[in-house]
Chain A
């Protein structure tokens, strides 16, 4: 099933998504990263942005400072925007959802059990983007509308305006579905055969 979302979305929309559905986002998307969340959740800083019902993407973009103009209201023009490995930011999923009402986390490589339970408890999903395909991803971003916590640049909190951001695959849903654990379990199951092909007996 494919969904086109104009952000933000509701609890019901988030909970309707199932693993292997695809989603394309339009409107607002927030860019967030390690340092952004360390400062927000470990060091007590707050953002002025309303992220309720919105999506965040794990990113720190390449940008060019051009000054504030009608086309570049944040003062920044995008150079290259792509997505980083999510695993490092596992412990921030729940506070992002509880304190800011975030519904969608976009990243690569997947998240773990703490995020999975946050998605179930609070109604959220993880969308897998293709890591390393940043030139393509950049074409889905129309503008950097605003920026907050910019002393952390490039790990600022970015507010992007996106059009046709996707399609992205639902890889973790609010019903316990998780593509990564399925693949990892299957891969562990093939470990003994892979070792046997190397003349090694699995222990």
Chain B
């Protein structure tokens, strides 16, 4: 399957705008579930405002949140896809810059030293483009995530040691949720990376934080941790916006990787309640937009 790069550029633009405006159905379902179970009056009113905002964004064709985030594009390439990988990355960056200029969107991206904003949402190594390969014959998929800074600023890595056991991982997650309080715009999806190297562990925490609600970790040990931790962090009473209540997190998601005999790394990355994603999928039938 040959990929038209002009179409990729157009899709990269559409995805950024679409992700900023339409919340995926699994997150909407998550809101309905939290709203139903919430017992605190303030929290109930905060959740009500968040739910109303989703409707207003759709009705006014507007962005859900002013934070256009750091643009992340996750590309998965099937075995039968014929594409120039370098040109694909360029097409994505061009589409990202065009979304920023043409919609327009706030460019939230600056140089880390000079703090200069190019007003394109692009810069050195940004947009972040992650590329992976899948066994399916003829599928190219690009997922776009505008990762907001309120939640991204709440990211942690701890290189625990084997003698601390899995208890260190569990304690760390609970303490990160306490530390984040209302700063991370709860209710959150708490992404947890367990194992790997330092950088892989942090990457996995991001994968976990941006995974759709209702999905489980492929590793049964990870899935078990997810269930326990989801219950535990929602016992804390941080609540929506940190103003108290039952609804601290939609879920805790865990991703695992094998690690070294001397290592026990754990990373936490938070996703705020504006858990935005959009996806474009190319198959021989054509291009489809979804989540």
Contact = CB atoms under 8 A, between A and B. Distances in A.
B67 A108 contact: no
Contact of A134 (B65, B105, B238, B241): B65
Contact of A135 (B63, B115, B185, B229): B63
A67 interface: no
A87, A88, A135, A193: residue with the most chain B Cβ atoms closer than 10 Å: A135
B236 A190 contact: yes
Interface size class of B (residues with CB under 8 A): 35 or more
Given A79-B63, A198-B232, A109 B185 contact: yes
Interface in B215-267: 228-229, 231-233, 235-239, 241-244
B178 A187 contact: yes
A134 B170 CA distance: 34
Interface string B114-158: 010100000000000000000000000000000011100100000
A132 interface: yes
A139 B67 contact: no
Given A179-B244, A197-B231, A134 B49 contact: no
Interface stretch (B3-11, B53-61, B198-206): B53-61
Given A191-B174, A191-B236, A197-B228, 11 more contacts: A62-B106, A82-B67, A85-B183, A108-B241, A110-B181, A131-B272, A134-B63, A138-B62, A169-B42, A198-B170, A199-B170
Contact of B232 (A183, A187, A194): A194
Contacts of A128: 241, 243
Which label, helix, strand, loop or mixed, suits the secondary structure of the B interface? loop
Given A136-B49, A186-B244, A197-B231, A84 B150 contact: yes
A136 B228 CA distance: 35
In the A-B complex, the 10 residue pairs with the closest CB atoms: A82-B66, A135-B57, A133-B53, A80-B63, A109-B183, A62-B106, A109-B182, A132-B274, A134-B66, A85-B150
B185 A139 contact: no
A180 B56 contact: no
A190 B181 CA distance: 13
Contacts of B106: 60-63, 79-80, 154
A190 B62 contact: no
A134, A154, A169, A191: residue with the most chain B Cβ atoms closer than 10 Å: A134
A7 interface: no
Nearest to B274: A132
9 contacts: A62-B105, A63-B106, A79-B63, A79-B103, A80-B63, A84-B67, A85-B149, A136-B53, A138-B60
Contacts of A193: 235
A195 interface: yes
A30 to B, nearest CB: 16
B14 interface: no
A180 B50 contact: no
Interface string B167-203: 1001100110010011111000000000000000000
A64 interface: yes
A134 B68 CA distance: 11
Contact of A194 (B65, B104, B174, B272): B174
A88 B235 CA distance: 27
Contact of B185 (A60, A132, A188): A132
Contacts of A182: 244
Contacts of A171: 243
Contacts of B183: 85, 87, 109-110
Contacts of B181: 109-110, 180, 183-184, 187
